Structure 1
C-alpha cells in the first residue's frame, strides 16, 4: 500500500500535492476545537478560496457559509459580507444566475447594515460578478468604480487588486490599450502587497497581455520581450509558492507561453519549438486528473498537433487532435468553444488529406456543437434576460421607492415650511394685532394725556392769569399803601421838625416850655403810629400777630412800634426822633426785640421783618 502511494505521489504534480496538503492543513486548523470561534471566519474563507480556485465549488460554498454563520452570530457583518462575496464568485463560475442575483442582493443589504466602507466595497465586488456574468460591461465598470470609491476611506489591497483586474478585463475586450495597461499595472501593484499568489499570477498574465497590446501597436521588440517576461513571472509562482497557485492558473500560464512561441516565432526556430512543446506538455501534466480542466489539456494538445503538422508528422498531429477530441467528449458538459475548435481542426485536417467523409462527419459535429453552444447561449441569455429584467424591475422599484422617499421628504419639508410660514404668519398677525392694539391704546392714552395736559395747561394759564392779576392788584395796593405810608412819614417828620423848631424858638426867646403842649404833641405822635399801624394792618393784617407769635407774645407796645418802623424801612435816626429817644436806645431796643424773637446775633432784624411772609 505504501509503495502504491509512493508511485501516485511520483506521478502527481508537486503543486497538486501541495494544494491538497495546504487545504488539509487549513481544514485541520479550522476543525480544531481549541481554535476560538472569532478566528475561524478568516481561515474558513481562505479554505473556501482554495477550493474555489481549484474548481471544487461545492466545498467552497460549504466553507463560505460556515464563515457566514459564525460571523453573523458574532455580529461581524463585514466578515459575513466577505464570505458572501466569495459565494457570488462561486455562483458566477457555475453560472447559477438566479442564485447569483439573490446572493448579491443579500450581500449588498448586509453591507448597508454593517455601515462599513470595506463591507460596501466587497458587496460591490459581488455585484460586479453579477453584471460580468450578464455581459453588462458598463455596469461592471460602474460598480468597480463604486468599490474603489469606498476603498478611498479604508485600504484593502486584496479587493482593490480584484477591482482593477476586473476593469482590466473589461477594457481588454474594448481594446483600450491605454486603460488595459493602467489597470493591469494597478492590479499587480496591489496584488504584490498581499500573499494571494494565485491572484498575483493572474495579474502577471494581465500585464503580459497589456504588453502584447503595446507590441501590436508599436511592433517594438522590448514590448514582445516584456510579454514573455511576465508570462514567466506568472508561471514561476506555481513552483515558488507550492499549493498557493491553482493548477488551472498554472496550466493557463503554460499554455500562454507555448502559444507565445507558436505565434511569434517561425516554424524553423527549433529552440522556440522545444520551449513551446515543453510548456504544452507541462500544462497537460499539471491538468491531468484535475476536474474541469480538459479544455486546457485539449488546448495543449492542439498546440502539439500544430507543431507536428508543421514538421509533416501528420499521424502524430492526427493523434493529438483525436486525443483532444476524446478528452472533450469525456466531459459531461464540454466547453463548447474548445470542442468546436477541436472538431473544426479535425475536419480541416481530414479535408486537407482528402478524407472527405471524415471531414464531413467532423464538420457535422462542428454544426452540432455550434447548435448546442447556441442553444446553451440562448438558455443562458434567457436567464440573463430574466435576471436583467428582475434587476431592472428591482432597480426601478428602488428608484421609485427612493423617488417616493425623496418626494415624501420634500413634501414633509414643504409641509414643514408651510407650517413654519403659517406659524410666522400667525405670529406676525398676532404681533401686528397686538402692536395695533397697543398702538391704539397708547394713542388713546396719548390723546387723553394731551387732552388732560391741554385742560391742565388751560387751567394753569387761567390760574396764572388770575394769580398775575391778583399779584398786580396786590402790587398796586401795596404801592398805594407805600405811597400813603411815605406821605405819612413825610408829614410826621415835618410835624416833628416844626415841633422842634417851636421848642428851639421858645428856648431862644426865653419863653417857658409848655409841657402840656409837648404831651399833646407826643400823643399826636402816638396817634401817628396808630395811623401807621393801621396802614400796616391794611397792607399786611397779620403782621403784628405773626411777630407776636414768633416772640411768644413777649413784645411790648414799644417793641411793636419799633418793628413797625423797621418794617417801614426807617433808619435808627428817624426812629429815635419819632420815638423821641436816643439812637443808642433804638439800637438797644432792636437788640431786645431780636432776643425776644429768638434771632441769632448774626441775623438781621430788618431782613427778618421784611421776609416774614417769604
Structure 2
C-alpha cells in the first residue's frame, strides 16, 4: 500500500499558502505606498472580498469597514460606499447574520438612489440576490440578478460584476436542469471573466464549463464532449501555476478532485495508467486542500478507497476512509453530512470484511452524527425562515407606510384644491345671484308650459300605441285566417288529385294498363302534395317541422296529411270523404298517430296538434 509522504504534503501546502500570502502581501504593499484615495479604496475592497472568499471573516470585515470609512471621506454617497456595503452584506450573509446583511443591503439601496447611479444600484441588487439565494428565494434571486444586469451601463467596464452575475444565473439554471440556459450563461460568464483581471473567477468559470459538458457527454457519449470536460480543468491547473497566489487553494483543489472523479467515472479505471493519473491528481488535490474543507478531503480519500477496493486491497481502502474520518472528526464543528457519507462507506467495507462489530460501531456513529445534522439543519432552516418572515414583514410595513404617506399627500393636495375651488365658486355665486333669481322666475314659467306640453304628448303617444296594438291584433287574425284558407285550398287540390287517380284506376281495369304512366302519375301526385306543403310552410313554416320534432316515431306523408286535416278542424267523416276511405280507417289512423306522439288516452289529438301549430 502506497502512502503519501508527510513531508511532501507539508512542503506543497506551505508553497500554496506562501503563494497566496505573497498575493495578499502585494496588495498590502500597494496600500503602504499611499496611493490615491480611489485606488486605495479599490485595493482595500479587493482584499476584503479575497478574505471573505477565503472564509477569513474578521479580516474581511476589518478591511471592508476601512474601505467604507475612506469612501465616506470623499463623499457621503458614492460608488465606493455602495461597494463597501455590498461586501459587508456578502460577509454577513456567509456567516448567516441575516439581519446585518439586510441592514447593509438597505444602506446600499439608499445610497444608490441618492446618487442616482444605476451601477451602484446594480451592486445593491447583486447583494440582494446573494441574500435571497441563501434564504432559498429563487424567484427573488432571479429578479434581482436580471435587474442588476439591466442597470450596468457598460458591462465591459464592469466585467467582473457582470461575470459574477452570469455565473450566478448559470448556477440557478443548473439547479433547474435547464442545460441550454446553463450553457448560454456560463459562456457569457467566461467572456467577461476573461476581460477581468480576476483569475480565481476565471478558474471557477472553467470548472463550471466542465460540469455543463458532463451533461452533454452523458447524453451522447461522444468523445468531443469528453475532451470538452477535461480541457477547461487543465486550463485552471495551468493558471494556478502560472499566476501564483491569484487562484485560491479551494478552487484549485476542487478542480483536481473533479478531474480525478471524471477519470474514475468516464475512463477505463481498470487500466494502470488511468489509475495512476487518478492517484496523482487526488494526492495533488489533498496537498492543496485547506484542512477546513471537509468535502474535498472526503471526496479525495473516498476515490482512493474506491481504487483500492477495485484492486481488492481492503486494508488500504479502510485506511483511506479512516484517515478522512480522523481528520474531520477532530474539528470542533465538522461537516456532518460528509462525515456520515464517510462512515457509511466504512460500514459497507467492514461488513464486506466480516468485521460486524466495527460495522456496528460505525453505524452507531452515523446515528449520532445524523441526529446532530438534523438539529443543525433544523436550526439553520428555522433561522432562514425567521429571516424571510421578518424581512417580508418589514417590507410590508414599509410599503404600508409609503402608501399611507402617499395617501396623506394626495389628501393634502385634494384639500388645497377644494379650498381653491370653493373660494372661486363663492365669488361667482355672489356675482351671479341677482341674474340667477331673475332667470329662475322666467324659467319657472317656461317649465310649466313645457310640463303641460309633455303631458299632452304622453297622452297622444298612449293613444297611438293603443291604435297600433289593435291594428297588430287585426293583422294577426287576418294572417291566421289566410293561413287556414291556404292550407284548406291545398288539401282540396290534393283531394282532386286522389279522385282523378281513382278514375284512372277504374278505366285501367277495362283497357290495357300502362304501369309506367301510373307510376309517373303517382309521382306527380306526391310532388303536388310536397308543393302544397311548401306553400303551407311559407305561411306557417314551423308546423310540419314541429310535428316531426314532437313525434316519437317517424311520420309518413299520409300521417302529415291527416295532421293537416285535423289542424283545419275536419271531423272523421269529412276526412273519410276527402280521402275516399272508411271512417273506421280514419279512426285507426288517429289512434296510430296518438301512439306515434306517445299520447295517453285522455289527451285529445286535435287539441294537441293545434297546440303544436
The question of 1:118 aligning with 2:125 is answered no
Equivalent residue number for residue 583 of structure 2? none
Q: CA deviation at 1:87?
A: 2.1
1:151 is aligned to 152
Matched, 1:368 2:368: yes
Pair 1:128 & 2:123 matched: no
Say if 1:277 and 1:427 are closer, same or farther in 2 by CA, change over 3 A: farther
- Cα gap change, 1:240/1:368 in structure 2, threshold over 3 Å: closer, same or farther? same
**2:129, 2:144 within 8 Å by CA — same for their partners in 1?**
yes
Secondary structure of the residue aligned to 1:298 is helix
Question: 1:163-191: per-residue Cα shift (whole Å, max 9, x none)?
Answer: 11111111111111121112211211111
Most deviating of 225-234 and 102-111: 102-111
What is the alpha-carbon distance in structure 1 between the residues aligned to residue 324 and residue 21 of structure 2?
27
The equivalent residue for 1:139 is 140
Tell me which of 186, 189, 206 is aligned to 1:187: 189
- Alignment correspondent of 1:172: 174
State the Cα distance separating 1:82 from its structure 2 match.
0.9
Equivalent residue of 1:188, what SS?
helix
Displacement of 1:248: 0.5
1:265 corresponding residue in structure 2: 267
- Aligned twin of 1:45: 45
* Contact 1:13–1:285 (Cα < 8 Å) also in 2: no
Secondary structure of the 1:175 match is coil
Encode CA deviations 1:496-531: one digit per residue, 9 max, x unaligned: xxxxxxxxxxxxxxxxxxxxxxxxxxxxxxxxxxxx
**Corresponding residue of 1:610:** none
* 2:216–2:225 Cα contact (<8 Å) kept: yes
Q: Which residue of 2 aligns with 1:554?
A: none
Asked if 1:340 is matched to 2:330, the reply is: no
- Aligned equivalents of 2:187, 2:230: Cα separation in 1: 16
- Which one of 250, 274, 277 corresponds to residue 276 of structure 2? 274
Contact 1:191 1:199 in 2 (8 A): yes
- Give the aligned partner of residue 604 of structure 1: none
TM-score by length of 1: 0.65
- Compute the displacement of 1:120 (Å): 1.0
- Correspondence for 1:284: 286
User: Conserved in 2, the CA contact under 8 Å of 1:298 and 1:327?
Assistant: no
| Cα distance in 1, alignment partners of residues 294 and 186 from structure 2 | 28
1:345–1:428: structure 2 CA closer, same or farther, 3 Å change rule?
farther
- Deviation string 1:41-96 (CA, Å, 9 cap, x unpaired) is 11111122222232222211111111011101211531121122122222233333
Which residue is equivalent to 1:60?
Answer: 60
Q: Is the 8 A contact 2:186 2:205 kept in 1?
A: yes
Contact 1:15 1:239 survives alignment (8 Å): no
Gaps of 5+ in 1: 1-5, 440-614
Work out the CA distance in 2 between the residues paired with 1:418 and 1:157: 55
SS in structure 1 at match of 2:177: coil
Q: Does 1:72 align with 2:72?
A: yes
Aligned residue in 2 for 1:551: none
Runs ≥4 in structure 1, deviation > 6 angstroms? 6-9, 430-437
Give the conservation status (yes or no) of the 8 Å contact 1:214–1:223: yes
Residue 79 of structure 1 aligns to a residue whose secondary structure is helix
Q: Report the TM-score, using the length of structure 2 for normalisation.
A: 0.65
Displacement of 1:110 in angstroms is 2.9
Q: 2:199 aligned with 1:197, yes or no?
A: yes
Shift of residue 322, structure 1, vs aligned partner: 0.6
- Measure the CA separation in 1 of the matches of 2:423 and 2:182: 61
CA contact (8 A) 1:55 1:291 kept: no
Shift of 1:336: 1.6
Q: In structure 1, what is the equivalent of residue 527 of structure 2?
A: none
Listed as ranges, the matches of 1:206-285 within 5 Å are: 206-285=208-287
User: Is 2:296 the counterpart of 1:296?
Assistant: yes
| Rounded Cα–Cα distance in structure 1 between residues aligned with 2:430 and 2:182 | 71
Q: Aligned partners of 2:21, 2:114: CA distance in 1, in Å? A: 37
Give the whole-Å Cα distance in 2 for the aligned partners of 1:216 and 1:427: 86
Superposition deviation, residue 400 in structure 1: 1.2
The CA distance in 1 between the partners of 2:213 and 2:246, in whole Å, is 26
Q: How much does 1:35 deviate?
A: 3.1
Q: 1:7 to 1:367 in 2, by over 3 A?
A: closer
CA distance 1:419–1:149, change in 2 (3 Å): farther
Cα separation, partners in 2 of 1:413 and 1:259, compared to 1, 3 Å: farther
